Structure 1
Amino acid sequence: MEVLEVGTPDPALAAALAAAKYQPLRLPAGAERDAFLAEHGPSVTAAVVAGPPGVDGHLMKALPNLGAIVNYGAGYDLVDVEEAQRRGIGVSNTPDVLNDSVADTAVGLVLATMRGLCAADRYVRAGRWPVEGPLALTRDVSGAQVGILGLGRIGAAIASRLLGFDCAISYHNRRQVPDCPYRYAGSPVELAESVDVLVVAVSGGNATRGLVSRQVLEALGEAGYLINVARGSVVDQDALVELLVSGRLAGAGLDVYTDEPHVPSALREQGNVVLLPHVGSATARTRAAMAALALRNLDEYLTRGTLTTPVLRPR
């Protein structure tokens, strides 16, 4: 029985695998991949996904004895879940342990974007303050109307933090949350047109691809801000760039992008955009907790054939 490692693990995951005496096979790229899979594919029973390229139907076909796909992260959009279900392959993720760090990042982006903190930092470092004087005034976070697109575990953690700023919270989900104290909006457009800042916290994958469409961004308007800590695929990035460049959106704070790690130059050139390199969960404590939970899933599958935090249960 072999464990396949897909993507490049960060130090926390690599250390956890090494401490558990796992020596996973690393999936190579390019011309070496086919020969590697021909040799090792039949012996692989579990895969740990640490990043792209993920596990699609073609890779599953090359791993005929694959029984479980263990995701290092809450998201599992790098896995063809429908094909995994068809083949009886279990899929797990690492929910809950990263809620706080991602929520903290989202609130940090709200503050940095609305108050122009990163632009102000650049202004001082460039020596412009003594020459050009005070910066233009910015927007208050306190008392702002905030829309949460996706009031799941992370979305709820973001909302609870923003209550400390006396923000008025609205949200949109596919279904209304019972007994929720926040105002429910019936669609992403309805949510966007009623708030100052829209925070995107939905899961990735085909079901949410393009959910934040041009129409949603236009509804947010020239005084509105977009914050995305979900997945780049959720937002129409081309429309986002166009609206920012033309001044039809006040600003954006982004931790995720359509084609990571590549960020369009038009985004990088906008002074009203705060850009992070997908670091929402990147704290030492959170990554260690994610690695430990991923390892628990791997151990449980290899010893008992079950998963600790299943998205799909193995058959």
Structure 2
Amino acid sequence: MSATVLVLVESVNEYLPILEDAGFRLILAPTPATRAEAVAQGGDQITAVLTRGPLGFFEEEMAALPNLKIICVIGAGYEQVDLPAAEARGITVTNGAGVNAPTVADHAMALLLSMVRDIPLADASVRRSEWRKVTRPTFANKRIGILGLGAVGLAIAKRAQGFDMHVSYHSRTPRTGVDFDYCETPLALAHASDFLIVATPGGAGTRHLIDKAALAALGPEGFVVNIARASVIATDDLIDALQHGRIAGAALDVFDDEPQVPDALKTLNNVVLTPHVAGLSPEASRGTVQLVADNLLAFFAGKPVLTPVHS
């Protein structure tokens, strides 16, 4: 395989030999400057792009690469890939839906446990020899609401059942074959939840589904976790709710302007923050790159790709 792949991602370098071993030539461009240079100089040679949802790939970049045939997105989200432009140019788009779902679900539960059980502050108190002891809620018999019941949402639900929690969910349509309570709207889901987990893709269709009204419905004893996209929660409404005790706490792995995080969030003691690492594990990274290789091999062999994305 002689196809040349422009690699924009920065988190899976250890596993890129999977692509090279499959016969692909790689051009690494993980920074804005190297990306712009590679697109400008790529000319006729670049036939594939490897990117992430937040990094995306745009119409003007596609126009600069006349032989681009396929864009592979690591992870499930593809919100910054210009799908209409890709479709208009006959460019195939794939994603990594489902590959990192167990890892993301693990992180979601870790964040929830850390926040609800006060682990970061308890740890800090021991290190300061303060021996801070605070009574915190248990998980048994709590109501967990999952916004988005895709592969990640299902994996979270499975783990929540292990904690004896009651599972409700909202998605665009009810899922068949699951024994969870369906809520018609995000607001209804928030009303039905003690713990609200955001696991839905980003993009215009899910922007600010969790807003001031939903946070008020969650209530002063409720917690919210976001391992999906920051755009799903209205950040200003969330900060206001946290500052005034209208919800009990939040745990966030995603932010509007990464790697920038609002100072207001950093100063609150009822939040847990991680740097967009929910999907990172050796298993997930290896599996994700292998899926990219499988999609590329299928595409350039004239076969259907495994995980197509349509506009």
Q: Is the TM-score greater than 0.5?
A: yes
Moved more, 93-102 or 196-205: 93-102
CA RMSD of aligned residues (A): 2.1
Q: What are the ranges of 5 or more consecutive residues in structure 2 without an aligned counterpart?
A: none
1:114 to 109, 116, 131: 116
Shift of 1:166: 1.2
SS at match of 1:42: coil
Tell me: CA distance 1:41–1:222, structure 2 relative to 1, closer, same or farther (3 Å).
farther
1:17 to 16, 19, 35: 19
Q: What are the ranges of 5 or more consecutive residues in structure 1 without an aligned counterpart?
A: none
- 1:153 maps to which residue? 151
1:144 to 142, 145, 150: 142
Tell me: CA distance 1:30–1:202, structure 2 relative to 1, closer, same or farther (3 Å).
closer
Report which structure shows greater RCO (CA 8 Å, sep ≥6). Answer: 1
Where in structure 2 are the equivalents of 1:24-173 lying within 5 Å? 24-27=26-29, 36-50=38-52, 53-129=55-131, 134-173=132-171
Deviations 1:93-128 (A, max 9, x none): 112221111111111111111111111111111221
Shift of 1:214: 2.0
Deviations 1:14-60 (A, max 9, x none): 33234335332234766776664343233322111146532011211
Shift of 1:218: 1.9
Query: 2:85 is matched by which residue type in structure 1?
Result: E
Given that residues 9 and 50 in structure 1 are in contact (C-alpha distance below 8 angstroms), is that contact kept between their aligned partners in structure 2?
Answer: no
Shift of 1:251: 0.3
The separation in 2 between residues aligned to 1:21 and 1:68, in whole angstroms, is 16
The separation in 2 between residues aligned to 1:287 and 1:93, in whole angstroms, is 13
With the length of structure 1 as denominator, give the TM-score of the two structures: 0.90
Given that residues 53 and 79 in structure 2 are in contact (C-alpha distance below 8 angstroms), is that contact kept between their aligned partners in structure 1?
Answer: no
- 2:8 maps to which residue? 6
Given that residues 149 and 171 in structure 2 are in contact (C-alpha distance below 8 angstroms), is that contact kept between their aligned partners in structure 1?
Answer: yes
The separation in 2 between residues aligned to 1:10 and 1:75, in whole angstroms, is 16
1:258 to 247, 256, 259: 256
The separation in 2 between residues aligned to 1:10 and 1:179, in whole angstroms, is 34
Query: 1:152 is matched by which residue type in structure 2?
Result: G
The separation in 2 between residues aligned to 1:25 and 1:242, in whole angstroms, is 44
Q: Does 1:287 align with 2:285?
A: yes
Q: Does 1:195 align with 2:197?
A: no
Given that residues 8 and 51 in structure 1 are in contact (C-alpha distance below 8 angstroms), is that contact kept between their aligned partners in structure 2?
Answer: no
- 2:246 maps to which residue? 248
Shift of 1:310: 1.3
With the length of structure 2 as denominator, give the TM-score of the two structures: 0.91
The separation in 2 between residues aligned to 1:37 and 1:176, in whole angstroms, is 42
Query: 2:235 is matched by which residue type in structure 1?
Result: Q
Where in structure 2 are the equivalents of 1:276-315 lying within 5 Å? 276-304=274-302, 306-312=304-310
